[in-house]
Amino acid sequence: MKTTTNCHHCNGRDFLGVECAWPAPDCLGDTRRRDAARRRTQLLRAALVLALAAALWQFGQAGYIHAKAWLAQHLIAQAWAQTRAGGAPARPWPWADTWPVARLSAPAQGVEVYVLAGADGATLAFGPGHMYGTAEPGDFGNSVLGAHRDTHFAFLQWLEDGSELELETAHGEVLRYFVTHREVLDHRDTRPLAQPDSGRQLTLVTCWPFDAVRAGGPLRYVVTAQARI
């Protein structure tokens, strides 16, 4: 059987043209079937190229998001060093509409991130954002920080009650906070934004659940930490 198929396979690489006792009809005059076959092959090839390009684009996007998040933090680190040295807030790149306002670290998780001013989508791509309208990080009152659960705030899922957080302010003050409360809330619930009457509080907000594939769900994971000096 094998020889029969092979000797009639005139498009194959091993076909010499005369292997069979009779020529295959495909290899003689009936070009209609051959052209159709070729067209199908070409179509498949085009679809393959398209699929690969789409895959490339998708992976590129994902890579871009992560690369941006990672790289921006390095630039912000430089801006932070300048801010700390010069006093005036430095922008990490000239056209940035944000600047670092604090450095947040979780020693047990080995995480160090620079917090930016403003918690809108454009800012959160580069780092955790401090929500306008809440107390300045390190100040008395409640400072609310938001970041993405799959980049800068992925470590929130490992925090437990009593976990330590360290915050360095632009004045060089280093404050130690301890997690007191964790909860899951709807994004419209503004209770985590309320200002306490006394004390320094840090509220870290990210999306929940952590392992969801889709972004933009309605739930938020809220970690509250109190300063202890």
Partner 1 sequence: MNTHLPGSARRWHDLLEIAALAARIFLGGLLVAFALAVLTLLFAAPSYAGEGDTGQGTLIIRLPDGNGVALPALDTEVAIRVNGPLARTRVVQTFHNASDGWQEGEYLFPLPENAAVDRLRMVIGEHVVEGEIRERAAARAEFEQARASGRRTALVEQQRPNLFTTRVANIAPGARISVEIEYQQTLEWRMNEDGGHYGLRFPMVAAPRYIPLPTTAEEIADAQRITAPVRHPAAGPAINPVRMRVELDAGMPLSALRSPSHALRVDAPHANRRVVEFADGAAPAERDFVLEWTLAAGQAPRVALFAERGQDVDHALLMLMPPRLPSDGRPLAREVVFVIDTSGSMAGASIAQARAALALALRRLRPEDRFNVIEFNSITRALFDAARPASTDNVEHAARWVRKLEATGGTEMAPALAAALGGAADPERVRQVIFLTDGAVGNEETLFRLIEQRLGDARLFPVGIGSAPNGHFMRKAAAAGRGSFTYIGRLDEVQERMSALFERLEAPMLKDIELAWPDGAQADYWPRKVPDLYAGEPLVVAVALRQASGTLKVGGRGPQAAWSTEVDLGRAAPGSGLGTLWARHKIDALLDLLRSGTPEDEVRPQIVELALAHRLVSRYTSLVAVDKTPVRPADAPLQGGQLPLNLPAGWQYEKVFGQLPTGATGARMHLLGGTLTLALGALLFALTRRRNAFA
3-state secondary structure of 226: strand
DSSP classification of residue 131 = P
Cβ proximity of 127 and 115 under 8 Å = yes
169: number of Cβ within 10 Å: 17
Interface with partner 1 includes 5 (CB under 8 A)? yes
The verdict on 102 binding partner 1 (CB under 8 A) reads no
In this complex, which beta carbon is closest to partner 1, that of residue 168 or of residue 192? 192
Binding flag, residue 32, partner 1 (CB under 8 A): no
Report yes or no: 7 and 19 within 8 Å, Cβ to Cβ: yes
Of 45 and 228, CB closest to partner 1: 45
Q: Which stretch binds partner 1 (CB under 8 A): 80-88, 108-116, 159-167, 175-183?
A: 80-88
Nearest-approach distance from CB 136 to partner 1, in angstroms = 6
Q: How far is the CB of 183 from partner 1 (least distance, A)?
A: 11
Distance CA 202, CA 43 (A): 57
State the burial class of residue 128 (Cβ atoms within 10 Å of its Cβ: 0-12, 13-18, 19+): buried
Which residues lie closer than 8 Å to 63 by C-beta, 6 or more apart?
Answer: none
Choose the binding region for partner 1 from 62-70, 108-116, 161-169, 175-183 (rule: CB under 8 A).
62-70
Which range, of 16-24, 47-55, 159-167, 174-182, touches partner 1 by CB under 8 A? 47-55
Quick one: which of 113, 206, 223, 224 contacts partner 1 (CB under 8 A)? 206
Mark residues 131-160: x for contact with partner 1 by CB under 8 A, - for none: xxxxxx--x-x--x-xxxxxx-x-------
Site size toward partner 1 (CB under 8 A) is: 95
Residue 44 is a binding residue for partner 1 (CB under 8 A): yes
The distance from CA 73 to its chain's CA centroid, rounded to whole angstroms, is: 13
Return the number of other C-beta atoms located less than 10 Å from residue 22's C-beta: 8
